[in-house]
Amino acid sequence: MLDNGTAPPVTDDGKTSSSRPAAGFVSGVMRRKPVERLVAEGGQGEGGTLRRSLGMWQLTMISIGATLGTGIFVVLGEAVPKAGPAVVISFVIAGLTALFSALSYAELAGSIPVSGSSYSYAYATLGEIVAWVCGWCLILEYGVSVAAVAVGWGQYLNELLDGTIGVTIPASLANPPGTDGGIFNLPALLVVLLCMAFLLGGAKESARANTIMVGVKIAALLLFCGVAFMGIRAGNYAPFMPLGLGGVSAAGASLFFSYIGFDAASTAGEEAKDPKKDLPKAIMLSLLIVTALYVLVAAVAVGAMPWGDFEGSEAALAGIMKDVTGQSFWAVLLAAGAVIAIASVVLTVLYGQTRILFAMSRDGLVPKTFSKVHEKTGVPRANTVIVSLFCGVLAAAVPLGELANATSIGTLFAFALVNVAVIVLFFTRPTMERTFRAPLSGVRIPFGGRTVPLAPLFPAIGFGFCVYMMLSLPGTTWQYFGAWMLVGLVIYFIYGRSRSRLAREDQQVSLEK
């Protein structure tokens, strides 16, 4: 039985039933898309369908690929001066913070295995306008972050070229526009176009390439740990917490964004072979692997170099390897790993962006072009090309500035909505099939002489963490986020509200009456 969303049911001949009156303004923008309908439409696009070709391991690699990127290669220079050697604890705290939202993602990914990720979850639980706002946040998170990550590729590529053949790309073509003489960031455009070529080959082929790249960057980090381990000095760990718990917490807040990306697996819901079982496993396993790698790398790094020397270091890992061995060869290898790591992030995040727009297009909220699927490859070709060219040009020619920082608040907002969606579904659809549940959710406890199910505790904690971290962001970030949301709402009321499939069905009901 469908939930009590406002969309009228669709009959076998494709016409809408007139059993429900047309929605008014408020109920119209708050109309919900039934869970069963979301799942039933999985994979369906304009002119073709997405192909279910991804297994659990490939989904895990997509999640790791989107998460394990430039962060660990540069973040220590920012985090260690705040916490000292106790940055290891900061990584654990940040990982636990991400875990609460990851549990909610895992529960919803197993219950609503569709491409839209948190956009689709919000559509099923919180209403169309909230879903649009969530989708608009995801466009900010994925689209701008692709550009922001791609911007740094040229710098690592130059390090690799300089260490191997002694030639570098001129600063005017390798640096972000307006930074250090940069005019047009050619490598940023090239890496996006390269990833576009992989994505056009199909989800399975893209996943295979990503798996190889993820393997290489994990190997690069493990290589760092093996080499840097020889330089560990026990004295570097003392004092372990020089700046107290406040420093550990501050570092943890800055490190949280190194975990953003685990939700990428949920965007592959309509291309997974067994999404209800594999998606929750992939999300949780990827978070576990990434956290273990972060903690290991941090522990070795602060043991091999005094924590005070990390201040201002953007390539701390490469510097440590060079100091320990006395040779630049190892640093060049690490630079190669960073080049591949960034490419992997661009590939997986770009993939996620196209699938979110695919879901929004299928619902009528963005143009149909984004949901057209190529019959032979099962790929939304036009979607992929448009998104790739937009992100590539954005990375190469536009100074991102504070807009890149706004991706953080957009991500946290989407995470918060996912936690709320789990709580809403707990009360509105208690009997819905769930292949994964957040711990303690639904456990019955004695209350008032009888037993009642315990409301989702972990999603509530996850929501609180997200709100707390959003409120800790600077005012300028909120200003850019507010401007982005305002633009999104204007687009929704001018275009999306009247063109959504549910709105058209409501109009059909009204005409039939």
For 215-255, the pLDDT digits (tens) are: 998 998 898 899 999 889 989 998 899 988 888 888 887 78
- The answer to whether residue 252 is domain-embedded is yes
- Helix or strand or coil: residue 372? strand
- Helix or strand or coil: residue 128? helix
CA gap 153, 228 in Å, rounded: 24
Q: Which of 437, 432, 434 is nearest to 455 (CA)?
A: 437
Task: Give the residue numbers spanning the domain of 208.
Answer: 50-430+453-512
For 332-390, the pLDDT digits (tens) are: 888 888 888 889 989 999 999 999 999 999 999 999 999 999 888 888 999 999 999 99
Burial annotation 218-230 (CB, 10 A radius, 16+ → b, else e): bebbeebbebbee
pLDDT of residue 64: 93
- The answer to whether residue 80 is domain-embedded is yes
CA separation (Å) from 492 to 118, 143, 343, 488, 496? 18, 18, 33, 6, 4
- The answer to whether residue 16 is domain-embedded is no
Contact yes or no for 209/330 (Cβ under 8 A): no
pLDDT band at 403 (very low <50, low <70, confident <90, very high): low
Contacts of 235 (CB under 8 A, 6+ apart): none
Q: What is the CATH number of the domain that holds 425?
A: 1.20.1740.10
For 6-47, the pLDDT digits (tens) are: 444 444 333 434 334 445 666 667 888 888 888 888 778 777
- The answer to whether residue 71 is domain-embedded is yes
- Helix or strand or coil: residue 455? coil
For 426-457, the pLDDT digits (tens) are: 888 888 888 888 887 766 667 666 766 677 88
For 141-164, the pLDDT digits (tens) are: 888 888 878 887 877 788 788 888
pLDDT of residue 314: 59
Instruction: Give CA angle at 421 (420, 427), nearest 5°.
Output: 95
Contact yes or no for 297/334 (Cβ under 8 A): no
Contact yes or no for 437/107 (Cβ under 8 A): yes
CA gap 118, 86 in Å, rounded: 34
- The answer to whether residue 14 is domain-embedded is no
pLDDT above 60 for 5: no
Q: Which of 27, 46, 12 is nearest to 362 (CA)?
A: 46
> In the structure encoding, which two tokens stand for residue 223, read together?
């290589």
- The number of distinct structural domains making up the chain is 1
pLDDT above 70 for 204: yes
> In the structure encoding, which two tokens stand for residue 29, read together?
């923008």
For 71-114, the pLDDT digits (tens) are: 677 677 778 888 999 999 999 988 888 899 999 999 998 888 88
- The answer to whether residue 149 is domain-embedded is yes
Average pLDDT, the chain: 84
For 275-327, the pLDDT digits (tens) are: 889 999 999 999 999 999 999 999 999 999 998 888 766 567 878 888 888 88
Question: Hey, which of 193-207, 243-257, 391-405 has the most confident mean pLDDT?
Answer: 193-207
> What is the arithmetic mean of pLDDT over 43-62?
86
pLDDT of residue 504: 84
What is the phi-psi region of residue 283: left when phi exceeds 0, alpha when psi lies from -120 to 50, beta otherwise?
Answer: alpha
CA gap 217, 200 in Å, rounded: 23
Residues in the chain: 513
pLDDT of residue 13: 39
- The answer to whether residue 479 is domain-embedded is yes
Contact yes or no for 365/492 (Cβ under 8 A): yes
In the DSSP assignment, the letter for residue 22 is P
CB < 8 Å & 24+ apart, contacts of 366-374: 366/495, 366/496, 368/46, 371/45, 371/46, 372/45, 372/46, 372/47, 372/48, 373/45, 373/46, 373/47, 373/48, 373/49, 373/50, 374/47, 374/48
- The answer to whether residue 33 is domain-embedded is no
CA gap 118, 359 in Å, rounded: 11
For 282-293, the pLDDT digits (tens) are: 999 999 999 999
pLDDT of residue 299: 94
For 469-512, the pLDDT digits (tens) are: 888 777 888 888 899 999 999 999 999 888 898 888 877 766 76
pLDDT of residue 6: 42
